[in-house]
Amino acid sequence: MSDERASAISRTKCRDIMTRNVRTVDPSASLVQVAAMMRDSDVGAVPVVDGVKLVGILTDRDIVIRSVAEGSASAAAAGDIMTKELYTVAPDDFVFEAVRLMGDKQIRRIPVVGADGTLEGIIAMADVALEMEDEREIAETLEEISSGTAYWSKQ
């Protein structure tokens, strides 16, 4: 990657690459409803909001590991099994902070929240990949996020 391109990426803000129209669920939503939403929207994670405030995130893996494997899928609600320990970025944070958190915390998606806790968007590895022009660069970045190697430590 050229120094000019690296500099441009390092100045990109989270608001510039985040997905804004994020499907969300209430903590009381049934897992059947959430799973159907994931299927119909072709997503693997759904933020859980109470009103407009982000309170958790529910992944397809959460549903399988914390509910189906325990035999409670039909009775559980999103709030019962969601991941409550959230790693987030702000809209004005630089994308490299989102990438660093994804690598450090081994997560594939990161919610973008306002100062008041309102969900404003989400950044997935694919959003980061779309910012990068070089296919090799994309592959290396995705591999580093998945493996936990910090992307920006190589710069």
- Reported as a single tens digit per residue, the pLDDT across 97-113 is 998 899 899 888 999 99
For domain 3-154, give the fold.
Answer: CBS-domain (3.10.580)
Task: Report which of 54, 65, 28 is spatially closest to residue 121, judged by C-alpha positions.
Answer: 54
pTM of this prediction? Answer: 0.77
- Estimate the share of the chain in helix, then strand, then coil, as percent rounded to the nearest 5: 45, 20, 30
Detail the DSSP E strand segments found in the chain: 45-50, 53-59, 109-113, 119-124
Lowest mean pLDDT among 46-55, 57-66, 118-127, 129-138: 129-138
Q: Determine the Cα–Cα distance for residues 92 and 94; give it in Å rounded to an integer.
A: 6
- How many residues comprise the chain? 155
Lowest mean pLDDT among 28-37, 39-48, 120-129: 120-129
Read off the pLDDT of residues 66-90 as tens digits, 9 standing for 90 and up.
777 666 666 789 999 999 999 999 9
- Identify the band that residue 133 occupies on the pLDDT scale cut at 50, 70 and 90: low
Query: Could you count the other beta carbons within 10 Å of the beta carbon of residue 96?
Result: 19
**Domain limits of the chain?**
3-154
Helix, strand, or coil (residue 14): helix
